[in-house]
Amino acid sequence: MRGRVYPSWITTSLIPSYNTRARRFQVASPRQLTFAINNDHIEQHVEPSSVPDADLAPTATEGYKVGQAKTLDELQRLDAEDESLARWKASLGLGATAATPASGPNVEVLTLSLHSPTRPQPIVLDLAQPEKLKALKKDPVVIKEGAEYSVELSFRVNNLVSGLKYLQVVRRMGTNVDKLESMIGSYGPAAEPITKRFVSEEAPTGMLARSGSYAVRSRVIDDDGKVYADFEWTFKLAKEW
């Protein structure tokens, strides 16, 4: 794994070593900050975000072009004799037993949770209830310093979605200290919620890391640029969970 490049204002004595099993983000300079937490509807942002929209832009793949959008019915009838295409459609759940498309957005993001082998129960953020996210403004999520943990997303697919992706930016002192961009996949409608766990992170350690809070902005987006979730939360590091 290639080492992360740290800004010159971080002394080498404060730079943590990499764990080969997990990603690790850098630590910004110490200062107690308060970050806004909101779960506003995507169409109506009431509060300005501490993480700019541009920082959540997905990485473009050179030469990749999004295909023409097709309805679920069109895909099911497409090249019925093509075995490879049939296998691809089956991987999306587009077979004879496919779930019936439901009303509402193609994707509904239900929860974001943090899982760690050093914690018996996950920390769960209920994304369906905005008032609970806003309560985190006064009570940030606590992550144990040095702990390995993973972000897991739970969502419901109501209709065909292609190239679903999760983006997450961690920001402190007005500077981005970490970004996670992970492909979730393509799905047809499903009767039950789907979960996706992302690459493990390793929390920083030390007094510098424990001072202040970190702002996180998370977004779920598809190939067409449609945003299904865009919300903010905060966390702080402590010696224990």
Kindly report, residue by residue over 155-193, the tens digit of the pLDDT. Answer: 999 998 999 999 999 998 888 999 999 999 999 898 899
- Give the residue-averaged pLDDT of 220-225: 93
| 28-56 pLDDT per residue, tens | 443 333 333 333 334 434 456 778 888 88
Taking the complete model, does pTM exceed 0.75, yes or no? no
Nearest to 130 by CA among 235, 220, 42, 222: 42
Q: How confident is residue 5, by pLDDT bands cut at 50, 70 and 90?
A: very low
60-72 confidence digits (pLDDT tens): 765 555 555 555 5
Distance CA 222, CA 226 (A): 6
- Which of helix, strand or coil describes residue 236? strand
Q: Are strands 175-187 and 161-172 parallel, antiparallel or unpaired?
A: antiparallel
- Distances, alpha carbon 57 to alpha carbons 157, 172, 217, in Å: 23, 19, 12
Quick one: pLDDT at residue 225? 92
For the chain, what is the mean pLDDT?
A: 75
Contact predicate 1/20, CB 8 Å: yes
Instruction: Please list, residue by residue across 81-103, b when 16 or more beta carbons sit within 10 angstroms of its beta carbon and e when fewer do.
Output: eeeeeeeebeebbbeeebeebee
* Mean pLDDT along residues 97-106: 71
Among 20-24, 79-83, 90-94, 205-209, the range of highest mean pLDDT? 205-209
